[in-house]
Structure 1
Amino acid sequence: MNVSARNVFKGKITALVNGAVNAEVELTVAGGDRIVAIVTEGSVRSLGLAVGKDAIAYVKAPWVMLLSGQPTVRFSARNQLAGKVVRLEKGAINAEVGIELVGGAVVYAVVTNDAVEELGLAIGTPATALFKASHVILGVPA
């Protein structure tokens, strides 16, 4: 199966907190990086989500925000993944930025060229990818 989401992370469910309407699911990917998703309880049931089960997290690149330097504010985004810029491809208006995480996974973001300049992003620059748990789509192997 092919999908249009630029970020595809395979891993195991390492935590699952059920709620009345939604559940919080933590997926640990190769290298130990963790991604948190918020899904409906209906999705937990229909996908058979459980701790120890394999799952795949999908995040579209435009849903990823970037930070450079040390943050001076705290953010509500559950997923705050630090690494360094390993890919930077500028287009006419937007750029694709790849951030390699400590565990080796790469998170891709699509941001404006102006944002790349304002943030001082370049290959090797430390950066943090932020995305909301509600922007993570979970799938399971068929």
Structure 2
Amino acid sequence: MGMSIRNQLAGTVTSVATGEAMASVKVRLAGGQDITAAITADAVNDLGLAPGSAVKALVKATEVAVATGPVEGISIRNQLAGAVVGVSTGSAMASVKIAVEGAELTSAITKEAVDALGLFPGSSVVALIKSTEISLAAA
């Protein structure tokens, strides 16, 4: 099945904390980074997720924010350090490709943000992703 979601990161579940309705699933990506996905408890059960499960973390490009360094004092837990490998801009929006250890992410942000952050190939950046914006697929 083809998907329009550009960001598909392979990883392994390291822990699952399930509550009444929601679960926090920690995933170690192929590049060694840890991310957290907040998904429903039903999804954990339906996918049979447990430590050691192979998964793909799926993130829409519109849900990847970009910062020029680590951000403190913010609720976003998923912060992946990387470098810009490409920027494509239109009149209003831009697509920024970011190489992180073991993977590549695409972020859809405004052209104004690209200009304000001074993004260009080679720029050091941090990709920010809310845990509620990560979906998991059993691999």
TM over 0.5: yes
What's the counterpart of residue 13 of structure 1?
A: 13
CA-to-aligned-CA distance 1:8-67 (integer Å, 9 cap, x gap): 011111121111221111111211122210011111111101100111111000011111
3-state SS, counterpart of residue 51 of structure 2: coil
Q: Is the 8 A contact 2:70 2:126 kept in 1?
A: no
2-structure distance, mates of 1:139, 1:128: 24
In structure 1, give the amino acid aligned to 2:20. Answer: A
TM-score (norm 2): 0.93
What's the counterpart of residue 82 of structure 1?
A: 81
What's the counterpart of residue 112 of structure 2?
A: 114
CA drift at 1:131: 1.2
Structure 1 runs not aligned, ≥5 long:
none
2-structure distance, mates of 1:5, 1:27: 18
Amino-acid identity (%): 38
Deviates more, 1:126-135 or 1:24-33: 24-33
Aligned-residue Cα RMSD (Å) equals 1.3
Deviates more, 1:84-93 or 1:37-46: 84-93
In structure 1, give the amino acid aligned to 2:31. Answer: G
Once superposed, which parts of structure 1, at least 4 consecutive aligned residues long, lie more than 3 Å away? none
TM-score (norm 1): 0.92
Instruction: State the aligned residue count.
Output: 139
2-structure distance, mates of 1:13, 1:114: 37
CA drift at 1:70: 5.5
Q: Is the 8 A contact 2:16 2:23 kept in 1?
A: yes
CA drift at 1:69: 4.0
Structure 2 runs not aligned, ≥5 long:
none
Q: Is the 8 A contact 2:70 2:79 kept in 1?
A: no
CA drift at 1:104: 2.6
1-structure distance, mates of 2:56, 2:70: 30
In structure 1, give the amino acid aligned to 2:114. Answer: V
CA-to-aligned-CA distance 1:79-131 (integer Å, 9 cap, x gap): 11111111111123211111111x23112100111100001111111111111
Change in Cα spacing, 1:12 to 1:70, as seen in structure 2 (3 Å) is closer
